[in-house]
Amino acid sequence: MDIAGSLLLAIALMLIIEGMFPFVFPSAWRETFRKMSERPPQQIRIGGLIVMALGLILLFIVT
């Protein structure tokens, strides 16, 4: 599989996982995002940075 195919596969898996939570737990998903929207932008930014770092670490471990 070439790099474009791998990228599309990764995006497809991400979309499947992202869609599972609102499909299975719509009320909890809505409440979680309501609470997140009340946080200051800096906290949201730090959370995003932590998630990206964990993703990079996992990517290096797997490959």
- Of 55, 60, 50, give the one whose Cα is nearest residue 13: 55
pLDDT (mean) for 5-22: 92
Indicate if the pLDDT at residue 59 is higher than 90: no
Phi, psi at residue 40, to the nearest 5°? -65, 150
Distance of alpha carbon 23 from alpha carbon 30, whole angstroms: 11
Indicate if the pLDDT at residue 3 is higher than 90: no
Single-letter amino acid, residue 59: L
Confidence of residue 50 (pLDDT cuts 50, 70, 90): very high
Confidence of residue 19 (pLDDT cuts 50, 70, 90): very high
Burial classification of residue 12, based on how many CB atoms lie within 10 Å of its CB (0-12 exposed, 13-18 middle, 19 or more buried): exposed
Indicate if the pLDDT at residue 1 is higher than 90: no
Contact assessment for residue 1 and residue 9, using Cβ atoms and an 8 Å cutoff: yes
